[in-house]
Structure formats: structure tokens, C-alpha cells
Amino acid sequence: MSVDPAGAVADAHRREWASVLAATVRVTRDLDLAEECVQEAYAQALVAWGDGVPARPGAWLTTAARRRALDLHRRAAVAERALPLLVVDEAAPEPLGAPPDDLLALLFTCCHPALTPEARVALTLRLLGGLSTPEIARGFLVTEPTMAARLTRAKKKIAAAGVPFRVPGVDEMPRRLGGVLSVVHLVLTTGHTAPTGATLVRDDLLDRAHDLARLLRSRFPDDPAVAGLLALVLLTDARRGTRTGPDGELVLLADQDRSRWDAAMIAEGRSLVLEALPARPVSRYAVLAAIAAVHADAREADDTDWVEIVGLYDVLAARWPSPVVALNRAVALGFADGPDAGLAALDALADEPRLAGYGYLAAARGELLRRAGRSDEARVALGEAAMLTANDVERDLLARRLEALT
């Protein structure tokens, strides 16, 4: 039987990268060196797996990477390196009596409060998502050198803060877990709709968000915010296979084949919403998951309870106000009370500086104008949205809308 080592290595990169890197960090105590060793292990696999893929690819890669790391540590040159970026705190007790968890420790390291929110997301995508620097740069709409410098600064800041490579203790957890949940949520949204590129969905990021949410749920089973985040991941990801057509074109929510939505994910997500939503204080992830659950409950698009969705956005706007929440509420209001009501709500956001250059505002306005029969104004708004959109698939949809109006 022929063996495709390249395909096997690519699959292992998608599935095992984060775990292999986390295990290697414990040996190297240096993020950059750990990355080098893991990359070499994958390069070795391309050759070694030509004779057959091991039964446990992740274990093979971890052994190869750690062996390389130990070999480098034996050399005198390694002793002359700068101080390690991470202090592996072997003596510190793990919270909740759990055994050491390198993957979770790496996640909390990437999301350390010493870093800016942007740096936390970028470092998580690099170290746990396995994305290349150019890929992350495209997602943040910055140049590759800018992103490389940002990642380097983040690692140096971790070194300066003396961050221990471990899961935070019980005393630290309340102020640390929220930052981690925020980063995983951003990984989810970036994978759900890629900011740039020729594809709508980033499967690798969605898979990573799913894995991280599951990991957090396994370690913090009683935390309602964690339950809400996992519910949001499941209810959002349940629609993945229907969001694009045979040629990769975007299929709007109203036009998706709901019979193809993942029923098991939806059932589990609903159960988690019922667990997370009554908690006080309620988390924003539970409210967002509840909105996704309302969509999942509708057998047809016309059955959607838009009044309930507007009410949930009211909760979000009251507790976590933001221009994007207000924009989404206006869109929901346009379905609940008609396009004129939605347009009036959007008009109130016209002077919001944080939405300047935000393509979804123009797109939402164009769609509501189209539904209101104001075709000339709709064409202007959709044309503006197309100019502001960096994702090719979304831009193609806007072009089709414009063509239909013309």
C-alpha cells in the first residue's frame, strides 16, 4: 500500500501541533527553541513516514522534538542562550488536584495579562493554532514584518514578566480565565469568517477553537462562562458545512439547508445554554449562544423568533455595549419590525468612529435598503461594502447582490 507522508504530516500538523509544542516547551523552557525543535520533528516525519505512518503520530513527533531539544541542551552553546522565556514551575500545585496539563499551561501562557489583547490572539494562533506568521498577518491586516515583530515582542514580554509555565492556581484563576475565554472566542470568530483570503471559513481555526473550548470545559466543568463558550462554539460550528455552496460561494443563513446542520452539536449546545444562561452574573458567551440557539430552533428561516433575538441583543447592549452589538441588534430589528425600523437603528450608528471603514455596516444598510425597495440607495451602500470587504467570498456575494439590483 502506498503511503502519502506529506498528507499524513499535514494531518498531524492540524491535529497535533499544539500538543507536541506544549510538551516540548516543558523541556526547552524556551518558546522559540521549542518551535524550532517541533518544526524539525515534522521535517523528519516527511522522510521517516515514507515507510509507514506510526500508529500514534503525535507521540512520535513529541519524542522526536523532545529528543532534539535535549540534544541541544547538552551542547555548550545552549548554555549561552538568553534566559529562558518560561519558568517551568515543577513545585507549584496544579489547581483542582489535576495532573500537569502542558496544553492548558501553554494556552494560559499565551493569554497572560502582561500582553495586549492583540498579542494574546496572535500568540495563541501561532503556538496553539500552528499558523504561520504570514497567515496571522493577513488575519490582522498587517504586514508580515509587523506581525513577526509583534510576536517577538510578545515572547520577550513573557520573559520579562517571568511567567511560569503552568496552569494558574485557584487564587489567580478568576482574573485569568476571562482573558483565555476571550481569546478562544476570537479564534472562533476568525475561523467562522476569515477576515481576508479566498475562502470564507478557516477550518483549522474552527477546529482549534473547538479543541480549546473542549479542553477548558474538561478542566472547569462547573464554570458557566466556559459552558457558554463551548455552547457558542458548537451552535456556531454546527452550520459550517452549509455556509458555502459547491463552488465555495457564500450561502446566507436564510438560504442554508438546515437539514444538514449538525444535530448532535446543536443538541449539546442547547443543553449547555440551559446550563449557562441562568447563572448570575450571566456571561456574554451564554447570551451569544442563546442567540445561536434561537436560529437553530427555527425549522425554516421564516420561523426564526426575531423578537427573542432582539431581546437577547438588548441584554448584550446593556451589559457589554459595543458598536458591533448595536449593529447586530439593528439587523435583528430589521427582521423583527421591518427594514425601516432596522434602518433607523443603523442611522443612529452613522457617526460611530469605531465603525468607520467597517464593511458590515455598509452591507447591513444595503441589505435593509434593498428589502425596503430603495434600490438606488442600496446599490450605493453595497458598493461601499464591497470596497471595504477583504474576504473574496463575501465580496463576490456583494457583487451578485449589486448585479441583481442593476
Rounded to whole angstroms, how far apart are CA atoms 26 and 36? 14
Please count the CA atoms within 13 angstroms of the CA of 169 that sit on its side-chain side: 7
Predicted confidence band of residue 208 (pLDDT cuts 50, 70, 90)? confident
Q: Contact, 24 vs 103, CB < 8 A?
A: no
Residue 131 predicted with pLDDT over 90: no
Q: Contact, 126 vs 152, CB < 8 A?
A: no
pLDDT at 148: 93
Q: Does 43 reside within a domain?
A: yes
> Which tens digits make up the pLDDT trace of 246-305?
999 999 999 999 999 999 999 999 999 999 999 999 999 999 999 999 999 999 999 999
Domain count, the chain: 1
pLDDT, the chain, mean: 89
Rounded to whole angstroms, how far apart are CA atoms 397 and 384? 13
Q: Contact, 329 vs 317, CB < 8 A?
A: yes
C-alpha to C-alpha distances, 71 to 33, 77, 97, nearest whole angstrom: 12, 11, 33
- CATH code of 30's domain: 1.10.1740
Q: Contact, 250 vs 200, CB < 8 A?
A: yes
Mean pLDDT of 304-323: 97
Q: Contact, 68 vs 38, CB < 8 A?
A: no
Best CA proximity match to 327, nearest among 301, 354, 304 = 354
Rounded to whole angstroms, how far apart are CA atoms 311 and 318? 11
Q: Does 397 reside within a domain?
A: no
At how many degrees (to 10) do helices 173-192 and 117-127 cross? 70
Rounded to whole angstroms, how far apart are CA atoms 104 and 84? 19
Name residues whose C-beta falls within 8 Å of residue 36's C-beta, 6 or more positions apart in sequence.
none
**Domain, as residue range, for 15:** 5-79
pLDDT at 28: 85
Please give the helix or strand (H or E) that residue 224 lies within, else none: helix 224-237
Predicted confidence band of residue 103 (pLDDT cuts 50, 70, 90)? confident
Mean pLDDT of 29-38: 90
Predicted confidence band of residue 98 (pLDDT cuts 50, 70, 90)? very low
At how many degrees (to 10) do helices 5-28 and 57-74 cross? 50
Mean pLDDT of 55-82: 79
Q: Does 74 reside within a domain?
A: yes
Q: Does 326 reside within a domain?
A: no
Best CA proximity match to 390, nearest among 121, 102, 219, 194 = 194
Mean pLDDT of 20-47: 91
Q: Does 203 reside within a domain?
A: no
Least confident of 30-34, 87-91, 196-200, 208-212: 87-91
Rounded to whole angstroms, how far apart are CA atoms 386 and 363? 8
What whole-number percentage of the chain has pLDDT above 70?
A: 92
Find where cell 551542547 sits: 75
- The more confidently predicted of residues 2 and 316 is 316
Mean pLDDT of 122-127: 90
pLDDT at 81: 52
Q: Contact, 204 vs 160, CB < 8 A?
A: no
Best CA proximity match to 30, nearest among 107, 84, 74 = 84
Q: Does 72 reside within a domain?
A: yes
pLDDT at 154: 92
Fill in the amino acid letter for 328: N
pLDDT at 14: 82
Predicted confidence band of residue 71 (pLDDT cuts 50, 70, 90)? confident
Handedness of CA 332, 333, 336, 338 (dihedral sign): negative
Give me the residues paired with residue 60 across strands. Answer: none
Please count the CA atoms within 13 angstroms of the CA of 378 that sit on its side-chain side: 19
Q: Does 54 reside within a domain?
A: yes
pLDDT at 352: 92
Least confident of 132-136, 259-263, 300-304, 389-393: 132-136
* Residue 90, C-alpha cell as written in the block: 515543577
* Residue 77, C-alpha cell as written in the block: 552553546
Best CA proximity match to 244, nearest among 135, 101, 32, 396 = 396
Residue 149 predicted with pLDDT over 80: yes
- The more confidently predicted of residues 70 and 395 is 395
Rounded to whole angstroms, how far apart are CA atoms 320 and 166? 31
pLDDT at 172: 86
Rounded to whole angstroms, how far apart are CA atoms 149 and 133? 10
- The more confidently predicted of residues 162 and 233 is 233
Fill in the amino acid letter for 126: R
Kindly give the residue spans of alpha helices, DSSP state H, lying in 4-163.
5-28, 31-48, 57-74, 76-79, 102-110, 117-127, 133-140, 144-161
Residue 139 predicted with pLDDT over 70: no
Q: Does 65 reside within a domain?
A: yes
pLDDT at 3: 63
Residue 76 predicted with pLDDT over 50: no
Find where cell 471603514 sits: 357
